[in-house]
Structure 1
Amino acid sequence: MELNETYWTDRYKNNQLGWDIGYPSPAIAEFMGQVENKNAKILIPGCGNAYEAAYLWKKGFNNVFLLDFSSIPLQKFSSENPDFPKAQLLNIDFFNVDGKFDFIIEQTFFCALNPDLRSNYAEKMIQLLEPAGRLVGLLFNIPLFEDHPPFGGNQKEYKKLFSKYFEIQKMETAYNSIPERQGNELFIKLKPIN
């Protein structure tokens, strides 16, 4: 199975959106709600229906960039948020993104990638983050599936992977996960090793 643009577009067309909770993740909303710099440049890769982006936009963050392989969620977001700059909607492969960001928000993107790409993911995050930037968000802390997304994992393997590239400022069970994921998510806050 190739996890390409066609795969994800078909998931949207067939309404196979098991990752979509219908509102901003409480853990991410709470963290980003404490960020005072409304000009911070923020990337949300694999943004899907981008509830976190809508939340941030309404809170006055004007430098949010959404990225998705499929154009469907980007078009939907644009129609629901007509004032959001079209230039900040990126319909490209994550590994082809350029730029530097103060925050990158992880919300069900890591688990959607083939696990063989996890080192590439970490390396790309380092390239995209400002030296004082942060990778923040949630990772599943359960096995999940081996042959299709979402792919799971555990804290031990994540620490081994990310400690090569990041100072792990936080990687702990999220206390404010949605009820269906309670106890199965880790909240992460990672700073590039300079």
Structure 2
Amino acid sequence: MSTANPAAATAANREKLKSHMAQYSGSSYVQGWDELWNKGDFLPWDRGSPSPALADTLLNHAKVIGGPFLDGRRKRALVPGCGRGVDVLLLASFGYDVVGLEYAEKALAACEEYVNKHKGSYPVKDVKMGQGEMKFVQGDFYKDEWFSKVGWEGWDGKFDLIYDYTFFCAMHPSMRKDWAKRMTELLRASPQANLVCLEFPISKPAKSGGPPFSVPPKTYLEHLSHPGEEIAYDSEGNVKMNPLVESSPNAFERVGHWHPADTHQVGKDKDGNVEDYISVWRHR
């Protein structure tokens, strides 16, 4: 398809991805992504460069998320569904020790290739702090088996920063409660530990399905306020907010929410305005 009409190309890619993933359900869902990486000729979510929204967050919102060091050690970050590893390199250049997690082994090969070709394009942001360590690990986000592959001595399985982009929106809605619960397990219970979500796509009609599935801010808010619990949806596929239901004891609280200064083109409206949000969450 011609790229003269980016919106049409994006819509066509979404329909093709939707058709592919419709062949997989339940526990086989991750195999659908694995198959796409195995073929390697249709990866529409792969932007080939790090998220401008993450770069803006690291550069301009350090008062919210803090820096890459804590108590004399480097903070440890996780990028689940890291794809080609572009955001892993970005976080490492800011000084974080980072794990890029992928279910698909071919994605890990793509990470190694990308690092070898482009690591010089990610200059260290602070020479005194230096670059953090990068590890690319194959594993299932919802299981613990991949912990042993990380290899950090004395590591307790917790992270100081988790970055989610095109991961939550890739999950079938039935998996969202487990996604939220898993985030509470992996994020360190500390005022200095943050889950950073790039909320995308927020304006897509929920009834159009996915992936990517529509995930407006209230979707994150309800699931992260009630991790592991069933959340009510209406007939159109939108989250039903219920202010009378109290947050769960293990809920996250949202400590930051803003439109980033920039984001990938797919997260902007037809006039070039940023639609995406960045949200920052912590254990209560």
- Band of TM-score, shorter chain: 0.7 to 0.9
Q: Deviations over 1:95-123 (max 9, x none)?
A: 01451000000111001111111111111
Cα-Cα RMSD: 2.4
Structure 1 stretches of 5 or more lacking a match?
Answer: none
More strand by share: 1
Larger mean CA deviation between 136-145 and 107-116 belongs to 136-145
Matches within 5 A, 1:93-172: 93-97=140-144, 98=147, 99-132=157-190, 133-140=193-200, 141-143=202-204, 146-164=208-226, 165-172=251-258
- 1:43 matches 2:101: no
The percentage of counterpart residues that share the same residue type is 27
Asked which structure has the greater CA Rg, the reply is 2
Aligned to 2:115: 81
Structure 2 CA distance for aligned equivalents of residues 124 and 5 of structure 1: 16
CA deviation profile, 1:19-39 (whole Å, cap 9, x unmatched):
121111111122234453251
2:109 maps to a residue whose letter is Q
Q: Which amino acid aligns with 2:51?
A: S
Give the partner amino acid of 2:203.
Answer: I
> Match of 2:142, as an amino acid?
F
> Where does the alignment leave 5 or more consecutive residues of structure 2 unmatched?
1-22, 120-131, 148-156, 227-250, 269-273
TM-score (norm 2): 0.60
Task: Tell me if the contact between 2:84 and 2:107 (Cα under 8 Å) persists in the aligned partners.
Answer: yes
CA distance in 1, matches of 2:44, 2:88: 19
Task: Name the amino acid aligned to 2:104.
Answer: S
Following the alignment from structure 1 to structure 2, what is the Cα–Cα distance between the partners of residues 181 and 80? 24
Aligned partners of 2:255, 2:133: CA distance in 1, in Å?
32
Deviation at 1:85, TM superposition (A): 6.7
Does the Cα contact within 8 Å between 1:144 and 1:150 map onto a contact in 2?
no
- The aligned length equals 191
- In 2: Cα distance, 1:167 partner to 1:6 partner: 32
- Of residues 156-165 and 46-55 in structure 1, the stretch that sits farther from structure 2 once superposed is 156-165
Q: Which has the higher contact order (CA 8 A, sep 6+)?
A: 1
